[in-house]
Structures are given as structure tokens and as C-alpha cells.
Structure 1
Amino acid sequence: MTVYSEAERHRIIRDALKHRPFATVRDLLDLLAVSPATVRRDIAKLHEDGKIRKVFGGIALPEHAESERVHARPFEENRVLNVAVKQAIAIEAEKLCRDGDTIIVNGGTTCYIFARLLATRALTVFTNSMPVAATLWESGVCHLVVGGGELHREPGVLFTPNAPENEFYASKFFVSAQGIGPEGLMESHPLMSRLIDDLARRADEVVVLVDASKFAIRARHSVIPLSRISTLITDSNLTDIDAKMLADEGVDVIIVDGNTSA
């Protein structure tokens, strides 16, 4: 069995993020063949030095490197990042729902956490997201309506481009995004861009659920303009510049604690 020095372990840990944005602790244990305590010490040291970012369940790229990425992470990778902040955002989003409401919930990990809070509510929920539909089916009593179509595995949605439009309308559309800026909500996946645009036209209000890191990401497709957003829920790491941008477009902003660790 190869025994690595600390410097070699740190290089291997950093190399684990060269071709993917997230690695689990189990991944690192398999790569290094050392004790969990050693891996935790290495992660803590690299995190302090700004070489990697410690997240719930593993490691991710540093914030400065993450902001340069323009492609979407798979759902399973994204669901373990910024978990506590996403939960706080989801709790605030649930407060906007009244029993008897008909709502649309899009895909994404923040919306998935939000949907879990809705499971026992007296609501009608429409979704094209397989993870959202699955959690509402397994543990929910709400009235669930699932959009039909082909399964697109990476974003985890059901959608057929040439299918007849769903005759479903709602008071609110809850949606997250890959990025957000002056152009509005942004996605790199063209399918998600079309799907979100279609669902937004079926709701009276658009409610956006994004952590503040999304304001540093620029994806290639603009989906919904800021002026179409009624409410945006984010965390306290929102910059003054981005807060002013939202205020100028008349977006009602709800802030949760952004310093909660996962």
C-alpha cells in the first residue's frame, strides 16, 4: 500500500477536482487509503489555505473557481452544496404558500428541499422534475400533477419539445436558476431554458429561490427577465450592488442567514 506524504495527499485532493466540481469524503478515502481523521485534517488545511472549499459531505472548487464555471452540475452533486442555506431559503418559500393554493415547482436542489416541506400541505403541485415528483409521491399527501414527456436524466426533468402544451395554471411558480444577473435568470442547458420559460407563462407570480453565489455565475441562456420576478429569496451574502439591481426592477427580496454552516 502506498503511503503518501502530506504534500502528496494535498496534491491528490486538489487533482480530484480537476474534472469535476465536487468529491465526497468517501472518494478521497479511496484515493488516499488513509484514516477519516487524516482526510478531515487535510480538508481543513486546504480549506483554510483557500485551495479547496469544504462543503457538506466532501469538497468543492473554491468560490473564485466556481464562479467561472458556466455549465450546470448534475443534481446529485449540487444537492450537497450550501445545504443549510438552501433549507433556510426553502423554509421562507413555504411561508408564501397558503392551503388550497395551486403552484408550480421547478427542478433543482433548492426546489427539491422546498418540495419536501410541501409534502403534507393541502396544495396542488405541478412539476416536471423527477426528484420533486418522487419525494412528493413517497412522503406526501398533497395533490400532485406531473408533466409528461421524455426523461432527460442530467437535469432530471420530463419534457417533450413538440408535445401539446400542458393546460395547467398556478398562482405561483417556484424556480431556482444556475445563474442570475442583469439579464435575469440564466441557464446553460437549452432544454431548461425552454422549460422554465414555458412554466413561467403559466403562473401569476414567479418566485425565485437562489443562494447568493448564483449572482456570480453567468450562463449562456437568459430565461426570465428580472422584471418578471415577483419575489426572490436568497441569503445575507447578497451584495449591495445585486440588491440594488433587484430593487431597481421592483423585485421583492427576502433575506435568510447566509452564514449557517452545513
Structure 2
Amino acid sequence: MLASQRRSLIAELVEREGAVRISELVDRLGVSDMTVRRDIDRLSSDGVVQRVHGGAVHPDEANRADEPGFAAKSLLQQAQKQAIARAAVELVEPGSAIGISAGTTTVELARRLTAVPGLTVVTNSLPAAQLLHETGGPGHTLVLTGGVRTPSDALVGPIAVATLASLHVDLLFLGAHGVDATAGLTTPNLVEADTNRALIRAGHRVCVLADSTKWGVVSLSTFGRLADVDVLITDSGLSPAARRAAKEQVGQLIVVKPGKGTA
């Protein structure tokens, strides 16, 4: 396959799926890792894709108004999400009941829950549920809400809301498409907003996991106020002004440095 043909296929995949991983392209194209990286570099310089760690996404993926898919979002801000998840797991007490909303950062948290015994985990995230089913820690109980699947692999809608209405968790870990001092926590999906509100009602304490690129993003529907957030965990890319605004509203602000501890 010629280089131009490879790049055309990569561009088509990104346009259709929103994101591609280098490892997947290596297998699909039958070429080396370095060849794929050079193709992505060329497409990135032409403005066709946006290069990210581990692959490429559509150039508008990070800021698009509609809802990106899980695969696309999982390639963005990876180091920041991992650092946020490491800080979040420190808040989890053995034997407690926790809730995990859909989102790529909350899935990073799910990866780290195997070290905490005796948990009951309520989630509407299909990737988190699958991960916990395969690698759950000792004494874990997994409760999946049910509902209709969204592009971000969340289960939402009346079934999910009805399930959550009868449940109570000690600590809810919540993701968001956007976090804003005025608009609060937002999502482009109206049905997911309803389900997130139900998750918040089920949580005794609410911890929002949101990397710094989410700050100032306002999507279609608000599902929570910053004043309702007990803990906000974000990364050191958050500006001083945004930190001040967050501290004025949330109960506790935790800022982490990617690859390190808190900032």
C-alpha cells in the first residue's frame, strides 16, 4: 500500500470513528509503529487530524458541540486523567458503596479500585462495568443501572433513573463534558443530564473528576451546580483565575500534576 493510500485510509477512519489508535493502525495496515507515526505527523501538519498520545483524533474532537465517542475521548489528556484517578482512589474507603458515572476519567478510576476491598460499585458506565467485572477486587459487588447506550458508552434514560432512585452511595465520582463557574456541570446529551442528576441525588458526597480542558466549556444541558460538588479533582493546567473561581464554590479543590502528586 502506498503512503498516500495509507494516509487516506487513516483520515477516513478518523472522520468516521472520531479517533484511531496507533496500535490498531499497525495491525490493520501491516506496517511498523514508526511508519504509522510518520503518517499521522503528515496528516496532522496538513490539518486533517489532531495528533494525541497513542493515536489521532478528529481536529474538532476536543471542542465539538455534539457528544464525542468514548474511543475519541479516551485518547485526550491521558496523563492528566491518570493523575486525577490516582488522587480519586485515595478518597475511597474499604467496604463503602460508591457510584461511578460514565466518562473516560472515571474509567481510569475504575482501573485502580482493585486495591480497595469490599466495595459496592454502582455505575452507568459500560467500560467501567466491564473492567470491574474482569478485574474487580476482593469482595466487590457491581451494580449496573441499565438503560439506553449513548455514544460515550453511558447507560441513560428512564430505566437508569428509576434504578438510581432507590439506591444510595457514600461517594459519587462524576465526570462532565464541561465545567463552568456560571453554568456548572454540563453535557451535550439531554437524557444523560437527567441520569447524572439521578446519580447526584443518590450520592451522599459528590466528587467531580475533570481535567483542566473541561473548564470554561459549556454544553447544552446543566445537570449540577458547582456548589453541589464536595470535591473537584483537576490537573495543574487549570489557570489561577479558574482555581479561584472553583474554590469559591466547591467544598474542596484538589489539583494534581500529571505523573506526580498534588499541586
2:106 is equivalent to residue 105 of structure 1: no
1:156 has 2:119 as partner:
no
Judged with a 3 Å threshold, the aligned counterparts in structure 2 of structure 1 residues 11 and 236 are, in CA distance, closer, same or farther, namely farther
- Cα separation, partners in 2 of 1:211 and 1:49, compared to 1, 3 Å: farther
Provide the identity percentage.
31
- Go from structure 1 to structure 2 and tell me whether the alpha carbon gap of 1:84 and 1:69 turns closer, same or farther (over 3 Å shift): same
The one-letter code of the counterpart of 1:220 is: L
1:144 Cα deviation after fit: 2.0
Which SS does the other structure have where 1:180 is aligned? strand
The gaps in structure 2 that reach 5 residues or longer are none
SS of 2:253 mapped into structure 1: strand
Give the structure 1 partner of residue 133 of structure 2. Answer: 137
1:198 aligned partner:
198
Structure 2 Cα separation of the partners of residues 171 and 33 of structure 1: 49
1:164/1:115 Cα in 2 relative to 1: closer, same or farther (>3 Å)?
closer
Is the partner of 1:119 in helix, strand or coil?
helix
Residue 257 of structure 1 corresponds to 257
TM-score, normalising length from structure 1? 0.81
Q: Runs of 5+ in structure 1 lacking a partner?
A: none
Indicate conservation of the 8 Å contact 1:111/1:209, yes or no.
yes
In 2: Cα distance, 1:170 partner to 1:79 partner: 26
C-alpha displacement at 1:68, in angstroms? 3.5
Is residue 171 from structure 1 mapped to residue 170 from structure 2 by the alignment?
A: yes
How far apart, CA to CA, are the structure 2 residues paired with 1:139 and 1:30? 26
1:5-57 alpha-carbon deviations (Å, 9 max, x no partner): xxx98788667655554233367669988754343234346657987532232
Q: CA RMSD in A?
A: 3.1
2:74 pairs with one of 58, 71, 79: 79
Q: Cα offset for 1:132? A: 1.5
TM-score normalised over the length of structure 2: 0.81
Which residue of 116, 125, 128 corresponds with 2:124? Answer: 128
Distance in 1 separating the partners of 2:81 and 2:221: 23
User: What CA distance in whole angstroms lies between the structure 1 residues aligned with 2:61 and 2:259?
Assistant: 18
Contact 2:20/2:55, CA 8 A, preserved across alignment:
yes
Superposed, which structure 2 residues align to 1:18-33 within 5 Å?
A: 18=15, 21-25=18-22
Moved more, 71-80 or 152-161: 152-161
Counterpart of 2:91 in structure 1 is 96
How many residue pairs are counted as aligned between the two chains? 255
